[in-house]
Structure 1
Amino acid sequence: MKHKGLCFLLILWLFSCASAQAPRQENPPFPQTDRLSSEELSMANELLTFGLEHEAVYTLLGDLKPMSSLGYYLSYPIAKKVSMADGDKHVVQVAVDSVSQALDELSQWHNIVNKLSNEQLEFVLIPYKHTWKEKRNLQILVCNRARFSQALEENESFFGQWGFTANSGPTVVLTTIEFESRNDRYRAYGYLFGYPEHAVDFFVEASIAEEETGEFVKRDFFQIPVSASETGHFTYAIPKGYIPTKIDSSVYREANAIQKSYQNLKKQYLLPNGNLNAIGLLSDYLRQTKAHQ
């Protein structure tokens, strides 16, 4: 009996050692997506698919762009009517079917961006400052956290005027910037959308000149292809007749490398119905990226 007791204790000790040495299961990149409803999960996958097919691929699968629009411009009949005064208490008539439906859908989108946000990426839903025909327009953006912080730090002489530093959160920065004056807004978005310094300067200076003279400043555009189109998406304005430099070529080459990587990955995550398992693709990419850091 004594030997059996010692043997049992030895086995128990060995088991505890093995358990202690066993690698822990790493948290998945999107740990909260299992808390989305089936409808919200489908909406999230469509959102990410659209982003990957457009310019958000340069934020999702790389750090070329500190942030990108995910292409979903939402519009709802919830804006204040012209007849209403500043400070009115009852603005949104919740009992109206169209308004109630709008708020329900927005609740889903807020839940989706919150559940998709993780260590590497932050998804935000930001209302535009200006309304249109009593409709409030909103945009969904994705931020590469590390690259976003870097952009704030690189341009601290500009962003510092609001007290923003590399540790400032994207949601605070973006809600502030959207409601700022025109040209500060343009410059901030230029830096955060990842446009080269010369392109940001030109766009802001052209805007100032237009305000002063009333004349539109003619321009050309530097086009960077995305999966959905060769032109019209990741695009920035340049002076008329401008000849691209090494800086522009560098941006183009980096974008091309990310695009090739996406096209290779895309083949592995296409579902039988032709849809893309975008959440699965991004999960595996982020997991591998973290493993190599």
Structure 2
Amino acid sequence: MIPSVVLNFLFPPPPSVFITTMSVIGFASLANAGFMEIKGKHMQYSKLAEEKKKAQISSKTGMLIIYTPAFLAGLSSLIIFPNEELRFTLGSGALTIHFLKRVLEVLFVHKFSGSMDVEAAIAISLSYLSMTSTMIYAQNFTKGLQVPSTDLMHPGVAIFLVGIVGNLYHHNLLSNLRREGEKDYKIPKGGFFNLVICPHYLFEIMGFIGITCISQTIYAFSFTSGSILYLMGRSYATRDWYKSKFEDFPENVKALIPFIF
């Protein structure tokens, strides 16, 4: 049973076993992945990847594989359903923009120096594609329903925009740490990097919170809650990695939440 106070902010659960199952699986798998990050069992991409033993592809190719299908799913929903309710259009549009930004960053912002497991790239890609498609599908069940007593759609747009701009800004700072041809890691500085080691994750969380506020569905809430737990674990592991590599890593720089965590 869902507490009645929660239903002040969310549409009631849809009569769909699929959506319910995906909500539980999505939250549980992301929360477990975050716990595994803290224990040292990392997703096999970026600097936290372990020794490479499986089939590899370039990190750039891997990231394009990860983000492109989810972007196409969001874009397709806007093309196939052009005259839907505003909430559906805003939610699908936000998902499309989120993954389009990711694709453009891979092409024009990020600098890559390593490789990625093919299996990891495909698994993460399917996860993002499933999330995007399910979130769009879940929104269909809100058609004709009374809007929750606390309508968060318009605040959600603002939160999403702050999140996506902040995430892009800090990704650009990360990219500019290295000059052309450099492969060594450096301690990031500037922006919120002076407070936390993963401000790009912090703003990514804000982006997903914004999408959840636009959607106000149980599935969006479940996915975002799981994503927060995963990114908390990932940022904790990232801070540990920097501390192990740099003796001068500043102790006052937290993992994800300024002054707290």
TM norm structure 1 = 0.26
Give the structure with the larger helix fraction.
2
Q: Which has the bigger relative contact order, CA under 8 A and spacing at least 6?
A: 2
What TM-score, normalized to structure 2? Answer: 0.28
**Structure number having the greater strand percentage:** 1
Answer with 1 or 2: which has the greater Rg. 1
